Amino acid sequence: GAGVSQSPSNKVTEKGKDVELRCDPISGHTALYWYRQSLGQGLEFLIYFQGNSAPDKSGLPSDRFSAERTGGSVSTLTIQRTQQEDSAVYLCASSLRGRGRRTDTQYFGPGTRLTVL
Amino acid sequence: GDSVTQMEGPVTLSEEAFLTINCTYTATGYPSLFWYVQYPGEGLQLLLKATKADDKGSNKGFEATYRKETTSFHLEKGSVQVSDSAVYFCALSDQDTGNQFYFGTGTSLTVIP
């Protein structure tokens, strides 16, 4: 597609429920990143995919968070048993080559605003 | 480790005022430097970038020069408009750390008519 897309754009859920957030990267981009942006905060790195594998999961805040990527394209971020502190905007980005390569630029999607009641 | 420090906001300016948002960095290697902009309700958009020392990135009237001697990449615009109201993020990508991106905390800019 023309840009990175994310769905849903907004998600309101109840505490304890599971949610799935989807990211469609730019076609042909091998690298995909998830970030979290809490109100008034900067970007918090969550996980990085190169192809379908995730060499860096260091930012996932707890084992309630997981992500997968299939076909080197679409990625899903899953949050189990959501808590109120999970409320944030979840941003996805993709880049052409990813880490360990020459200068690369990340392109961001519009984000999913998650609200946990 | 690598990091980015940018000027804290919020910043409020009148239309046509001069804008500077300071950004300094720490990196082990020779990073590429970026400014991203986030308009209200939207995701981050790349505003400009510079990949080596003394390069100047520019876009939409904004400029930033990669200064290795001062480890800085300050964002400037000569005459801001109301439509420039947004949050601005400075970022670096360092090949020595596998091109991991490091973002500053963001600076909120509000331009009033």
pLDDT digits (tens, 9 = 90+) for B31-53: 899 999 999 878 889 999 999 89
Q: If you average pLDDT over residues B49-59, what whole number do you get?
A: 94
Is residue B17 pLDDT above 80, yes or no?
yes
pLDDT in tens, B22-31: 999 998 878 8
Q: If you average pLDDT over residues A97-107, what whole number do you get?
A: 72
Give the SS3 label for residue A86: helix
Is residue A1 pLDDT above 60, yes or no?
no
Using the Cβ of B46 and the Cβ atoms of chain A, whether some distance falls under 8 Å is answered with yes
pLDDT in tens, A52-98: 888 888 889 999 999 999 888 999 999 999 999 999 999 999 988 77
Q: Give the nearest chain A residue to B90 (CA atoms).
A: A42
Q: If you average pLDDT over residues A12-25, what whole number do you get?
A: 97
> How high is the pLDDT of residue A101?
59
Contact A105 B104 (CB under 8 A): no
Question: Which of B99, B102, B105, B108 should we substitute to test contact with A (largest number of A Cβ atoms within 10 Å)?
Answer: B99
* Cα–Cα distance for residue pair A33/B93, rounded to 1 Å: 14
Q: Give the nearest chain B residue to A89 (CA atoms).
A: B43
> How high is the pLDDT of residue B2?
83
Is residue A27 pLDDT above 60, yes or no?
yes
Secondary structure E strands in A26-87: 31-37, 43-50, 53-56, 65-69, 75-79
Contact A33 B95 (CB under 8 A): no
Is residue B92 pLDDT above 60, yes or no?
yes
Secondary-structure percent of chain A, ordered helix, strand, coil, rounded to 5 = 5, 50, 50
> How high is the pLDDT of residue A103?
64
Using the Cβ of A20 and the Cβ atoms of chain B, whether some distance falls under 8 Å is answered with no
Q: Phi/psi zone of residue B60: left (φ > 0), alpha (ψ -120 to 50 degrees), beta?
A: left
